[in-house]
Each structure stands twice: as C-alpha cells, then as structure tokens.
Amino acid sequence: MKTLGNTISNVVHEMNPTAICMCEVGGEKSPLTEEEMQQVADQSIHAWKEAVTEELEIRSMFQVGAPYMTVYIEGPIQCSDPRTLNDLYYANGESRTAQTFLCRGPGNITVDVINVHAPSGKRTLTDVQRRKLIRKLLQSASMSRPGQAIGSARFLIGGDMNTYPIALSRVLYGCGSNGWLQRQWHIQ
C-alpha cells in the first residue's frame, strides 16, 4: 500500500491528471475481494488528496473480480457505468479483458473510455491478437452513443498496450478501411 501511495502521489505531481485508470489491480487469476479493492481505492484517494493543496472530490470506480480501477476528480468529469469487456482475445490460452466506462465532460460531451492491459514480458501480443483486440473493442457497444459501436463514437483507448505507435497505427488504419473505425484517430 505504501508503494501504491507513492506511485499515485508521483503521478499526481508529475502529470496533474483528472483521472487515473489502473490495470492489474489484483490479477486475472487472483482477483481481489471487495474489501481489498476498497482498500486500494481508499489508499489511492488518500494519496491523491495528500499530493495536492486544493480540496478535491476524488471518486473511485471498480468491479469486484476485475483487475481494473479508475480514480478521478469528480467535477470536471463524471465517470459512470464501468463494465468489463470479456474474451477480447486469448494469450497463451488465457482470455483477456478490458475495462470500459462512460466519461462525461465539459459541454456534456460523452466519451467511451477503454482501459486495456496487454501482456508484456514473455506473453507479448502477436499482430493477429492485436488486430483482434482492437477490432473487438471498436465493435463493442458504445455507452456514449447507445445503439452504436465504440468505433463510430467518441472514444479513448488507453492503458498498457505494450505496442509501439507504428504497429498500432497499422492496426487502426486497417480497422478504418474495414469500416470498424468510423472516426479520425490520433495516437499519443
């Protein structure tokens, strides 16, 4: 918990975020209990508040059994409706997931936010898995535009993709030519 607190504090000082999306909170094979997830949320919120001088309303979002947590400043944005997208692709026989939620910002603009964790180390994504992951994400139901796919809505995909921008650009270009991605995109 001390390491988590220091990490959150460093992120807040160096990046001045409005939201922090975390993956690998617990793990796919050993998910944290509700009590343990709440402890992580409480520590993250406490560390964020300790790292700033102004009074902020910090909230957290998580689902028990999923390795994702989002901590954010309530006010500039409102985050809601977290869900886990399952069976996006398989890595060494293991099903992989992502978190998505609705984010409402200034001007009542809504965005689908997707938090992905792709395996690293010995289990890196293959190009085929990467394409399948992005395709399934883009074809998932949008919460910012009900009745449409994420690929035709405003969206932000973030997280630990373990992918170089050029490889991701090739995948996104292919998704656009296949009709799965119907908006302009930018990699940062």
pLDDT digit of tens for each residue in the chain (188 aa)? 999 999 999 999 999 999 999 988 987 778 899 999 999 999 999 999 999 999 999 999 999 988 899 999 999 899 999 999 988 877 777 778 889 999 999 999 999 999 987 665 566 677 788 888 888 888 999 999 999 999 889 999 887 766 777 877 888 778 777 777 777 777 77
Secondary-structure percent of the chain, ordered helix, strand, coil, rounded to 5: 35, 30, 35
In this prediction, residue 124 carries a pLDDT of 67
Question: Of 157, 163, 158, which is closest to residue 120 (Cα–Cα)?
Answer: 163
In this prediction, residue 127 carries a pLDDT of 76
Under 8 Å CB-to-CB from 122, ≥6 apart: which residues?
A: none
Six-digit token pair at 183? 């908006």
Residue 38 parent element (H or E): helix 34-51
**Sign of the C-alpha dihedral computed for residues 150, 152, 157 and 162 taken in this order:** positive
Domain segments of the chain: what residues?
1-74, 77-188
Q: What's the N-to-C CA distance of the chain in angstroms?
A: 30
- Alpha-carbon gap, residue 172 to 166, rounded angstroms: 10
- Alpha-carbon gap, residue 86 to 93, rounded angstroms: 14
Question: Of 144, 134, 147, which is closest to residue 180 (Cα–Cα)?
Answer: 134
Give this prediction's pTM.
0.85
